[in-house]
């Protein structure tokens, strides 16, 4: 009888071990499957996010390339007193601005109407687009020059001596000119061709 009890206990123990082992294997398989599905989903989302980000980057680069091309307007030379209190300092600077193009600036060439033989003279000569743009910008030039003079003459030589100071002055000049142009065009860049402080 003792052997029967040991055999039945051993059988129950083996049965318990087998059930535990099978349930552990099933749990491991379930966890591995869930982990696989979650990781695959996350990787798919990451890949789609990366590809979307790359597409947005490509679009912004192409848009940036389009915006970067503008029309350069030379504002000429400026000789200014700076705002230094201890010693009078002068600034000699050449300023040019780059403004946005309009779609109408460079119209596509269309065929001029042929004369009908009525003898009313020749067709008018085509207008040079750059000449028309310069004429348009000339109406703003006095106000733009005033904005440049006001901005730069309010600075000290120490402020304009650093690269950061020059960039700040360019940004302020750009904002002032954009206010003058009132959305007709936009300043893309302000450039100093010559910059001498004495």
pTM listed for this prediction? 0.56
CATH of domain 71-104+129-197: 3.30.479.30
For 164, other C-beta atoms within 10 Å of its C-beta total: 9
Q: What is the dihedral of CA 83, 189, 142, 94, to 10 degrees?
A: 60
Ordered by start, the domain boundaries in the chain are 1-67, 71-104+129-197
Q: Are 140 and 153 in contact (CB under 8 A)?
A: no
pLDDT at 67: 45
pLDDT in tens, the chain (198 residues): 555 555 566 678 888 889 999 999 999 999 888 888 888 888 777 777 776 666 676 666 655 555 456 788 888 899 999 988 888 889 999 999 888 877 776 666 554 455 555 555 555 555 566 777 778 888 888 999 999 999 999 988 888 889 999 999 999 999 999 998 888 888 888 999 888 888
């Amino acid at each position: 009888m003792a052997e029967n009890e040991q055999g039945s206990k051993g059988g129950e123990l083996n049965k318990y071990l087998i059930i535990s082992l099978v349930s552990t294997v099933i749990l491991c398989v379930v966890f591995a499957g869930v982990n696989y599905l979650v990781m695959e989903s996350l990787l798919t989302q990451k890949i789609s996010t990366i590809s979307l980000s790359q597409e947005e980057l490509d679009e912004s680069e192409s848009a940036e390339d389009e915006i970067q091309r503008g029309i350069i307007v030379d504002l000429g030379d400026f000789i200014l007193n700076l705002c230094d209190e201890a010693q009078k300092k002068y600034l000699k600077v050449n300023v040019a601005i780059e403004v946005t193009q309009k779609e109408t600036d460079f119209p596509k060439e269309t065929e001029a109407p042929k004369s009908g033989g009525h003898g009313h003279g020749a067709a008018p000569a085509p207008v040079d687009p750059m000449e028309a743009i310069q004429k348009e910008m000339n109406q703003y030039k006095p106000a733009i020059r005033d904005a440049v003079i006001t901005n730069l003459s309010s600075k000290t030589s120490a402020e304009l001596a650093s690269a950061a100071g020059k960039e700040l002055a360019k940004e302020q000049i750009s904002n002032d000119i954009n206010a003058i142009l009132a959305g007709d065009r936009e300043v893309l860049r302000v450039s100093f061709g010559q910059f001498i402080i004495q």
